[in-house]
Amino acid sequence: MTGLEITFGIILIVFALFLVVAVLLQSSKDGGMGVISGAAESFLGKDRNSRLDKLLNKLTPIIAGVFAVIVLVMYLIVA
């Protein structure tokens, strides 16, 4: 493995973890599995939860796109 492969591998793992966390922290529209944070609405307040949801809704597709690009770059480096 070259240093470039290791670097992109570490970046890939970090983006994968961030993507998983971003998806899990989003609240669901029907109150199903998206309520991972427990009683976040009553503890943090509705306004803060709403701002977090808006931020996560914007960041998740961006992170997913960057993750896909990194996977493609890793494929090209290894192949």
* pLDDT, tens only, 27-74: 776 655 545 555 445 555 556 678 888 888 899 999 999 999 999 999
How far is Cα 15 from Cα 71, in angstroms, rounded to an integer? 10
The label of the residue with tokens 């922290």 reads 25
**b/e per residue, 18-54, with b = 16+ CB within 10 A?**
ebeebeebbbeeeeeeeeeeeebeeeeeeeebeebee
Instruction: Delimit the domains of the chain by residue range.
Output: 1-25+49-79
Q: Is the pTM of this model over 0.85?
A: no
pLDDT, residue 65, reads 94
